[in-house]
Amino acid sequence: MAVAAGVGGGFAAGYVGLVTGALPLDVGVGRRTRPLGPQAVDIEAPRDVVFGVIAQPYLGRAMRAMRAMRAMRAMREKVRVLEQGGDMVLAEHFTPVAAGWLTARTVETVRFDRPDRVGFRLVRGPVPAVVESFRLSEYEGGTRLEYAGEMGTDLWALGHWWGGVVAERWEATVAASLAAVKREAERRAPDR
């Protein structure tokens, strides 16, 4: 009985360690990759407005109105910039996972190629590798924001299973972010 509790407790500790980024697993053996996305949303706002909404939590440009500050507070609570350069930051991202008691933590580089791309590369997190991007393109009436990425996991079938668990939550978080960007960019659009 004690052995079973020890194994269960070890699994739980390993899970919490992986999710929170405290125990990153990058052994480079049995690496498999899987796509993330694609996801896309059409936004009735100019491309520079949409880009500004995405960049705001990272680049910290002064906001013009208190309403905008309140609207983006939720995003700022999910992102902490660790280092900032001209077109790239190192940022910590926090995502609630299990009924509010567990928060996933990732550390990622974020590169800004104004006005058409924001790229992310995982440095530390629940899987060994993630590369993803938001691409912005203009169309008549607004901006199309497209997300795509790739996730890499180690340890063959076990990693493939874990990647499926992580990818489901990862893509749901991206979908929520796209919806939030759409709402805020359309609110900020000059002709609305």
> What confidence tens digit (pLDDT) does each residue in 11-24 have?
788 788 887 777 77
C-alpha–C-alpha distance, residues 18 and 24, integer Å? 6
Element of type H or E holding 174: helix 156-188
In three-state secondary structure terms, 131 is: strand
What pLDDT sits at residue 65?
A: 38
Which residue carries 């009985």 as its tokens? 1
Dihedral of CA 15/154/21/112: which sign?
A: negative
pLDDT tens by residue, 98-123 = 767 889 899 999 999 999 999 999 99
Whether 6 shows a pLDDT value over 70: the answer reads: no
What pLDDT sits at residue 101?
A: 81
Other CB atoms within 10 A of residue 99 CB: 6
Dihedral of CA 23/27/29/35: which sign?
A: positive
In three-state secondary structure terms, 173 is: helix
